Structure 1
């Protein structure tokens, strides 16, 4: 991609958005204060108590790691919006933006994979056992990290080159217009909408299955409300934090919508404070599968290792 145009703000332009800058500093500061310790503790608990013994635990460990990295990118945003200065240079700005964007995208993917994993465990508990293994989950997560990072590298390179041309470093308020970027942006938006649809379909399927499942069914689900809440929380995270941002991307006009888009990006960052709800409801949910013999019995739970009944 070749850079076509860029927007470098000057000191005079800061006055027009002073209120938004103050709100951004406050919101990012609150997300940092809540999200950093919350995700650090969640990651520690997941690693210490559950490790990599189940596919669900593997997925949630990766989601917690992604959210933690996102939170670690926020101190520089708080400093920038609080002081309206950026003395750290183009490389530090690019790294902070790159870390934020890549982990926002990975959070969307991991949340969706968690929903799919739960759906398979509930609807196809026996047939999905060969697919739902810790090893396969680790490979999927590794693939997500690698592909997402690689796809974001060209964007980061173009951003760094454009930032170096600015006399006044506006960092997170900087906007670069890249030839062909509209197609890439639309691709990202469509991908996020597809992930949202997967979460919606998974939620509806689970509700239908739980309502139709007879009491004496071979697969018994304890605490149905907690099971449904996993899917509902995942779906609401997308609708509240990612859907507004995605819809704005689809109708984005660089001349008029820059401030609105940045405000919605700020809103999307709040997601990392609510993802621990997914861990909580998941750890309280169980899928108990009864086989014909003791060796075929499997007790699935993210709050403890698998046990034979």
Structure 2
């Protein structure tokens, strides 16, 4: 209760003066919205139309696309806020928009890691993992992720909502730079993201070792190896470029609170929704082809099935 009161007093006293920095934030979010919203909408449509839920990898990617799409749908509010420095939409809308960003960061990290683990297990243990790597198992894992993240966000939602209640001028998205964020939550999220990064690193190393031991017979084999490696390269880039700086900032516990640095890192983290579609492209062969055409491409389709269902 004391934390909520302190947060409310701090936020309600915040005044925002027009600045080029805010306009730059509006421009960045506008570009991410213009690229991320149509790209993730198209990716989700293609995933559902051509792959559906027939493989665990496709299930994970559908959920990743949904997570990115939810973030993209909240970006118009960010663009409006930073362009006008006004928030006429109320406390509940601000809380929801803030939590969509935090949920996206958490779920995206988890789904990207699950995709890496799924690809690694399919390559390293194709026969032993057949009973575990099913669409049903992937659906259950995704449901657990959404439920767990939602439940863990409830205390934050209550704190944010109470902290904003009563403010005449809500400095909505500037709350990312406030001292009111729980240090325990910040540390837990930072450690969790670093653990996921470690899992991605281990998965990448295992895949490289497995691919080096397998003989290369023909151009098709070489191309497939390159595609597999690109999956993990994209996953690692998303973590290192978009999530790692934000994670390191959380580890500082906001003692050296710098609103400009935090604002820049939040902008950078939001860009991840524009790069995630590359994961879909490299992870699923014939991503852009319809069912009929994909089935005629015997070599590519059989290669995809061996990776997805083995």
Range class of TM-score, shorter chain: 0.7 to 0.9
The question of 1:209 aligning with 2:210 is answered yes
Q: Which residue of 2 aligns with 1:14?
A: 17
- Could you report, residue by residue, the CA deviation over 1:143-169 in whole angstroms, capped at 9, with x for unpaired residues? 000000110111011101000132321
The question of 1:226 aligning with 2:227 is answered yes
3-state SS, counterpart of residue 275 of structure 1: helix
d(CA) in 2 for partners of 1:201 and 1:11? 44
Q: Which residue of 1 aligns with 2:102?
A: 101
Q: CA deviation at 1:235?
A: 0.5
RMSD: 2.5
d(CA) in 1 for partners of 2:226 and 2:303? 17
8 Å CA contact retained: 1:22, 1:81: yes
Q: 1:132 to 1:304 in 2, by over 3 A?
A: closer
The structure where strand makes up a greater share of residues is: 1
Aligned length: 290
- Could you report, residue by residue, the CA deviation over 1:182-219 in whole angstroms, capped at 9, with x for unpaired residues? 11210100000011111111111111110112358xxx
8 Å CA contact retained: 1:52, 1:134: yes
The structure where helix makes up a greater share of residues is: 2
Q: CA deviation at 1:258?
A: 2.7
d(CA) in 1 for partners of 2:46 and 2:178? 40
d(CA) in 2 for partners of 1:24 and 1:302? 43
d(CA) in 2 for partners of 1:228 and 1:163? 46
Q: Which residue of 2 aligns with 1:3?
A: 3
d(CA) in 2 for partners of 1:187 and 1:213? 39
Q: Which residue of 1 aligns with 2:295?
A: none
d(CA) in 1 for partners of 2:178 and 2:3? 8
In the TM superposition, what are the counterparts of 1:13-162 in structure 2 within 5 Å?
13-15=16-18, 18-162=19-163
8 Å CA contact retained: 1:300, 1:306: no
8 Å CA contact retained: 1:56, 1:117: yes
d(CA) in 1 for partners of 2:117 and 2:193? 15
In the TM superposition, what are the counterparts of 1:242-281 in structure 2 within 5 Å?
242-253=243-254, 256-281=257-282
Q: Which residue of 2 aligns with 1:291?
A: none
| TM-score between both structures, scaled by the size of structure 1 | 0.87
- Could you report, residue by residue, the CA deviation over 1:72-96 in whole angstroms, capped at 9, with x for unpaired residues? 0111001000111101111110111
- Could you report, residue by residue, the CA deviation over 1:51-92 in whole angstroms, capped at 9, with x for unpaired residues? 100001100010011100110011100100011110111111
In the TM superposition, what are the counterparts of 1:174-185 in structure 2 within 5 Å?
174=175, 177-178=179-180, 181-185=182-186
Q: CA deviation at 1:33?
A: 0.5
Q: Which moved more, 1:277-286 or 1:119-128?
A: 277-286
Q: 1:13 to 1:254 in 2, by over 3 A?
A: farther
Q: 1:50 to 1:98 in 2, by over 3 A?
A: same
Q: CA deviation at 1:269?
A: 0.4
Q: 1:128 to 1:73 in 2, by over 3 A?
A: same
- Could you report, residue by residue, the CA deviation over 1:245-277 in whole angstroms, capped at 9, with x for unpaired residues? 100111143563233112101100000000000
Q: Which residue of 2 aligns with 1:197?
A: 198
8 Å CA contact retained: 1:50, 1:303: no
Q: 1:96 to 1:283 in 2, by over 3 A?
A: same
d(CA) in 2 for partners of 1:163 and 1:68? 26
8 Å CA contact retained: 2:39, 2:274: yes
Q: 1:178 to 1:27 in 2, by over 3 A?
A: closer
Give unpaired runs (5+ residues) of structure 1: 287-297
